[in-house]
Structure 1
Amino acid sequence: MGEDIKRDPFEEYIRHVEPDKKKLGYAWYTAVGLQAVDGLKTSDYLKDTAQNNIEGKITISEAEKLIESYYETSNSRDTDRTKEADCVSARIAAILSDDAFTFSLPQYLGIHKRLFEGIYDHAGKIRDYNISKKEWVLDGASVHYGNALDLKATLEYDLQTEKEYEYSYDNIRDDIRHLSRFVANLWQIHAFGEGNTRTTAVFFIKYLRTMGFDVTNEIFAENAWYFRNALVRANYNDYSKGVHATTEYLESFMRNLLLGEHNELHNRNMHISGYFEKQDIEKAKQDIGDKKQDIEE
C-alpha cells in the first residue's frame, strides 16, 4: 500500500491526538494525495502553508489566499500544472475541513466549480462533447464515458437511485459492494472535460461522512492513483479478451478505508496484461486438474 506517492510531511497529523489538527491534517494530506490522479505534484510552498494552517498559525481561508497570491506575484512561479495542484489542493482541504454537504446534483457541480474556477474555463459546467482517454491500466484503451447528450439526465438518475437505496448496515460488505458500484457509475459518466476524479472523490468522501463513516485516514492520500485505476477497471469490458468490468479492486480499497483492513493495493495487479496472465494461470491450473481427474478415473 502507498506505492504511488511519497509520504507527505504532514502525514503525522492524521494520527494526532488533537481533533482539530487531525481533521486539518487529514484534509490537507488527502488533498495533496488526490493530485496524483492526474500526475500532478504540489510545491514545497503549498506544504509549508498547509503546515502553518494545521499548526493554527493561519486559517484555511488565509492559506488559500496565500497560495493564490503566490502564483499571482511570484516572478519565478512553478509550472501551470504545479499551480493547478497547489490551488486545487487548498480548495479540497477547505471543502474537506467543512462539514456542510448536500447529496445533490447542484452540490456535485458546485464542487467542480469550487475546485477549478480560474483554472478551467468549464469549471462547474457539464461537458457538451464526447471524450475518450487512453488508460495505462487498459494498455492504452479507453473507458466508454457518458454521451454528452445524456449527461445531466444520467447524473440525476444515478443520484436519485442512490438516494432511494436502503442500506442494511448489518452486512457492511454488501454495503461496500454497493458503494463501490455507485461511485464507479458516477465517475463513468465523466460529466466534465477535466477534473472528474478529484471532484468525484471529494463528493464521495463527503457523502461517506453523512453516513457516519470515519474516513480520516491515509487511504485516499496514499492510493489516489489506485482509486482512479480501480474506477477504470470497474467500467471496462473487452469480452473478446475475457476482460470484464469488476468492482473487486474498488472493494479492496473501500475495505481498507472503512474497515481498517490491510489489503494490498498495487496498480500493477489491475493492469489488463496482468489480468491476462492471471487468466492463463487459472486456465493452466484447471487443465492440470482435469488431467489429474482423468488419470484417477
Structure 2
Amino acid sequence: MGYSLDPISDNCYPGTAVLINKFDIHDEAKLNEVETVLVSARSAEWMEHPKADSFDFTHYKAVHHFLFSDLYDWAGQIRTVDISKKGTRFCSAENIERQAELIFHRLKERNYFKNLPHGKFVDEIVDFYCVTNDLHPFREGNGRTQRAFLTQLIRDTGYDINWAEVDGDLLMIATIQSAQGVTDLLKKILNEAVSC
C-alpha cells in the first residue's frame, strides 16, 4: 500500500493506515496477504473471461471493481483524496474525470493501437502506461488494474504480454523514473515483454 494521503484517515480504520475492508482486517500485513490472493485469482478470471471490451474509462473502472469488490465497498469508484507514493504525486482527485476523458479519448482516436508495428506499438503502450499511472484514479489497486487493462488491450491488438516475466522491482523503478519524465527503462522493459 504505502500511499501518502490527504487526509490520512480516508477510508481507513481510525488511528491506522489500514483500509476499511469487508473482512474487517485491521492488520496491514494480513490485509496485504488476503488482497494478494483474492486479487490474483480475480485477475486470472478477468483475463480468461473479460467482462468489458470497450476500452474506455468505464471499462477501466469495471476492471478495478471486478478485482477489488470482494475486499472494498468502494471498488471501481474514483478516489476522493489526493495521494502520492515514493515521491510521486498523482493526479488531483478533482481532475481525475477530466484527465481520464482526455486519456481514453486519445486511446480511441488512436484506434486502440491496432495495426501498429512492434516499435510504434510499444511507444504507444509506454505513453498510455505513463498517463494512466499519473491518473491513479483509485484509492488502492491502481497498478494491478492498469496491468489487467493493458493485458486485455494488448491482446486485443494481436500482441501479448506476460507480466509474470517482468521483474517487479525493476518495473517499480521504471515507473518512478517515468513519472519524472524518463521513460528509457520502462520502454526497454515493455519492449522485451510485449510479443507477437
TM-score higher than 0.5: yes
Question: Which of 176, 184, 192 is the aligned partner of 1:248?
Answer: 184
- Tell me, yes or no, if structure 1 residue 107 matches structure 2 residue 53: no
Name the CA shift for 1:113/1:221 in 2 (closer, same or farther; >3 Å): farther
Q: CA deviation at 1:232?
A: 2.0
Distance in 2 of aligned mates of 1:108 and 1:170: 22
Q: 1:170 to 1:207 in 2, by over 3 A?
A: closer
Indicate the residue corresponding to 1:275 in structure 2: none
Deviation at 1:121, TM superposition (A): 3.4
Matches within 5 A, 1:88-167: 88-99=39-50, 101-133=53-85, 135=86, 142-165=87-110, 167=113
Q: Secondary structure of 1:128's partner?
A: coil
**Correspondence for 1:230 among 162, 174, 179:** 174
Partners of 1:124 and 1:168 in 2: how far apart? 27
- Superposed CA deviations along residues 229-286 of structure 1, whole A, max 9, x for unmatched, are 32221112xxxxxxxx1211111111111248xxxxxxxxxxxxxxxxxxxxxxxxxx
Is the CA contact (8 Å cut-off) linking 2:63 and 2:149 kept in structure 1?
yes
For 1:184 and 1:169, the matched residues in 2 are separated by 21
Residue type at the aligned position of 1:211:
T
CA distance in 1, matches of 2:102, 2:33: 36
Gaps of 5+ in 2: 3-22, 24-28
Distance 1:154 1:255, change over 3 A: same
The match for 1:179 is 125
TM-score normalised by L of structure 2: 0.77
> Residues 1-297 of structure 1: matches in 2 within 5 Å?
79-99=30-50, 101-133=53-85, 135=86, 142-165=87-110, 167=113, 169=115, 171-215=117-161, 217=162, 219-236=163-180, 245-259=181-195
Judging by fraction of residues, say which structure has more strand: 2
Aligned length: 169
C-alpha distance in structure 1 between counterparts of 2:114 and 2:98, whole Å: 28
**Aligned partner letter, 2:45:** A
Separation (CA, whole Å) in 2 of partners of 1:86 and 1:168 = 33
| Contact 2:35 2:71 (C-alpha < 8 Å) held by counterparts | yes
Distance in 1 of aligned mates of 2:165 and 2:35? 17
Contact 1:197 1:228 in 2 (8 A): no
**What percentage of aligned pairs have identical amino acids?**
24
Question: Following the alignment from structure 1 to structure 2, what is the Cα–Cα distance between the partners of residues 80 and 168?
Answer: 39
Unaligned 5+ segments in structure 1 are: 1-37, 40-71, 73-77, 136-141, 237-244, 261-297
Q: Classify 1:175/1:108 alpha carbon distance in 2 versus 1 (closer, same or farther; 3 Å).
A: same
1:93-146 Cα distance to aligned partner (Å, 9 max, x none): 10111255221111111111111113233211101111122x2xxxxxx11210
CA RMSD, aligned part only?
Answer: 2.4
TM-score by length of structure 1 reads 0.52
